[in-house]
Every structure is written in C-alpha cells, then in structure tokens.
Amino acid sequence: MISVRVPATSANLGPGYDAVGLALSLSTRISLDRAQHPEVEVSGTGAELVPLGPDHPAYRAARFVAEIVGEGEISFHLIQENDIPPIRGLGGSAAALVGGAVAANELFGGQIAAPDLLNIVCELDGHPDNAAPALLGGLVIGTLTPTGVSAVRLEPKDLGVAVAVPDFAVSTTAARRALPENVTHRDAAFNVGRSGLLLGALATGEYDLLRVAMQDRLHQPYRAHLVPGLEEVIEAALGSGAHGACLSGSGPTVLAFAPPESAPAVAAAMKKTFEAGGVEARSWALDVDLMGARVEPPGEVSVPSPVPVL
C-alpha cells in the first residue's frame, strides 16, 4: 500500500483571488492499494462529511491517473486519515485529490512526470490555488493557460500562520453566488496593486507591508455576510500582533500571518472574538509547509497533528 501525506492549503490570501495559495502544517494521509472492488475508509476530523466509495475525491483522482496510464479497469482500496477540517476553506478536498493522484502515480511506477501531474491535479480541481500548493508546498502563484499551468513557488521564511476555524460550513456554491458578475475598474485596480505588494512582501520578507497588502475588494466584502464576525476577527488578529489577515478560501476560516512567536496569541485572539459573537471555533498556530505532497515510507509513524490553541 502506498501512503501519501498532503498539506492543507489556504487560497486567495486577500487580493490574490483564485491565483495564490499557501500550504499549511495540517495534513491528510491517503493510502492506496489495488483491490478487487472499490473500498474506501475514512477516519479523523470530519470523517462523517467525506464521501465514501468511488465519489471520494482521492478515489476519483486515482481512477483518472489509472486511465491515463492504461489501467482503466482497476479498483482501489483507499484509506484516508484526516486532520483537515472539511468544508472550512482549508483545501481539504484538493488535498485528498492530490493525495489520490500522487499515490496512484506511485503505485503505477511513477509514469507521469511532475509537471504533468501538476496539470492533472489542477485540471481536476478546476484551478491551481489549492491543488498547486498541496502538491508543491510553500506559496504558489499559479494560473491556468491553454497549454497547462504556469506557476511560481516561493518559500516564505520566519513566518507564522494562525487560523481560526468556526464551527459552521460555508457552501462553495453559496460563496461563488455571492460574487457579483461585474466589478468597478477602481476595485480591480485596488486588488491588482495589492496583489503585487502581497507577493513582493512574501518574497522579500518585508512582512510589515502585509497589513495593507492583504486588503481585498473583490471577494471578502461580498462574502462577509456568510461569516458572522469576519471583520471583527480580522481586527482582533491585527490588534494582537498579526502582520495581516484575511478570509481563507471561501471561508469560514480566517487566516493571519504573524511572527512565529506571536502566532499562538493571534490564534487565541481570533478564537475568542468568534466566540464573543456566539460562534464556537477552534484555532491553530501553524507553519508554512514547504514539502507539499510526499510519499511516506512503509511503516513510517504519522506526524503528530498540531494541537489547537485553547
């Protein structure tokens, strides 16, 4: 059986809508082997919310890879051990998808080269903002082109991450429907300027610029009604020492960048602010995951999961 560990991801990161994603030190583990008929087992965080059988995203990705390499009739035994809260804006389905694709490719002898595997997972997920960092690790800026994915990978240094995960889900469909068909030229220019500043700050380590660079006018204002307390939680993060903060993906998780030593206090402040508004929440102080999806040797002990703050 092949086992692959894949990190959670945070997409959008303020103004970087559908283009910027970050790998985080929460993860899911996908194990895969040949079987006579489809078998899917899921344990861990949110197991009851993950589909079983061939509809599981990792299983679908494994089947896609199998067809590419000429193994279209195969079935799999798939096991997922999950630490990523599902349907919370942390890329859980993309992580599973990447894990299934990488595990299947490994099972079939690594026939698909890394650049082609990147194109496959981004095509399956629909865009690269979650799938690319889940596969590659670090911070990935990517876009789909007619010839495949064009992407740049960065490794932010000395950067802590705090996340607060409220105890409710935001439907991706509802989050997309909340966005207007058209935006003003002024708002588009606002985001373009801050997207450039965001990437420059993360590439150079000038993290004091993130407070401004993570501001957004293209998706957060339209989705704020789906996440009660969003503005207050962001303000609490900034007030407790964060460099900048934003909605993670389509939410409801809120993410903040902070000095590593301040990340636990920032995470606690965000959790407290959610709960002051009557919303239960968990929070974590995390690292940027620089490894991305990786095959674990047989018998390797799983990496301990980060412990929630408070």
Q: What is the CATH number of the domain that holds 59?
A: 3.30.230.10
Identify whether residues 134 and 167 lie together within a single domain. Answer: no
pTM comes to: 0.93
Let me know if 4 is exposed, middle or buried by CB neighbors in 10 A (0-12, 13-18, 19+): buried
Identify whether residues 145 and 171 lie together within a single domain. Answer: no
Q: What is the DSSP string of 163-184?
A: EEEESS---HHHHHHTS-S---
* pLDDT confidence of residue 297: 78
Q: Please check whether residue 129 is in contact with residue 95, taking contact to mean a CB–CB distance below 8 angstroms.
A: no
Identify whether residues 75 and 176 lie together within a single domain. Answer: no
In a domain, 165, yes or no: yes
Binding residues for ATP: 85-95
Identify whether residues 193 and 84 lie together within a single domain. Answer: no
Q: Please check whether residue 124 is in contact with residue 60, taking contact to mean a CB–CB distance below 8 angstroms.
A: yes
Q: Which CATH number does the domain housing residue 179 bear?
A: 3.30.70.890
Identify whether residues 92 and 112 lie together within a single domain. Answer: yes
In a domain, 294, yes or no: no
The neighbouring-strand residues paired with 150 are 143
pLDDT tens digit at each of 310 positions of the chain: 999 999 999 998 888 877 899 999 999 999 999 999 999 999 999 999 898 889 999 999 999 999 999 998 899 999 999 999 999 999 999 999 999 999 999 999 999 999 999 999 999 998 899 999 999 999 999 998 888 899 999 999 999 999 999 999 888 788 889 999 999 999 999 999 999 999 999 999 999 999 999 999 999 999 999 999 999 999 999 999 999 999 998 899 999 999 999 999 999 999 999 999 999 999 999 999 999 999 997 655 455 456 565 5
* pLDDT confidence of residue 7: 98
Identify whether residues 266 and 210 lie together within a single domain. Answer: yes
Identify whether residues 117 and 206 lie together within a single domain. Answer: no
Q: Give the orientation angle of helix 128-136 with respect to helix 92-107, to 10 degrees.
A: 50
In a domain, 296, yes or no: no
In a domain, 251, yes or no: yes
In a domain, 292, yes or no: no
In a domain, 299, yes or no: no
Identify whether residues 130 and 202 lie together within a single domain. Answer: no
Select from 154, 179, 198 the last residue of a domain.
Answer: 154
- The vertex-81 CA angle with 290 and 151, nearest 5°, equals 30
CA neighbor of 280 nearest in space, from 176, 166, 163: 166
In a domain, 32, yes or no: yes
Place of tokens 């990496």: 303
Number of structural domains the chain divides into: 2
Identify whether residues 113 and 194 lie together within a single domain. Answer: no
Identify whether residues 172 and 220 lie together within a single domain. Answer: yes
In a domain, 53, yes or no: yes
Identify whether residues 147 and 220 lie together within a single domain. Answer: no
Binding residues: 85-95
Identify whether residues 148 and 198 lie together within a single domain. Answer: no
Range of the domain at 88: 2-154
